[in-house]
Amino acid sequence: MTEHGFDAQAIEGAKSQYDVIADGQLVFSKQQQGRFPEHDEIVTALRS
C-alpha cells in the first residue's frame, strides 16, 4: 500500500505483536504502548 508517499506492508509477527518500523527504526510498538496506533499517529511519526 502506498499512501502519503510511503510504501507500507504488513508482515506477520509473534502473537499479539504490532510494530511499525520505518528505515530500521521502531516507530510504534503495541506491546510498549498497550494499544493499537491511530492512523494519524503513524503518518505524523513517519513525516518527522
**Residue 41 to residue 23: CA distance in whole angstroms:** 17
Total structural domains in the chain?
A: 1
H-helix or E-strand spanning residue 20: strand 19-22
- Confidence at residue 35, expressed as pLDDT on a 0 to 100 scale: 94
Q: Which residue range forms the structural domain that includes residue 36?
A: 2-47
Beta bridge partners of 20: 28
- 29: amino acid identity, one letter: S
Residue by residue, pLDDT tens for the chain (48 residues) are 555 677 777 777 777 788 888 888 888 889 899 999 987 888 888 887
Q: In terms of pTM, does the model score above 0.75?
A: no
User: Is the Cβ–Cβ distance between 8 and 2 less than 8 Å?
Assistant: yes
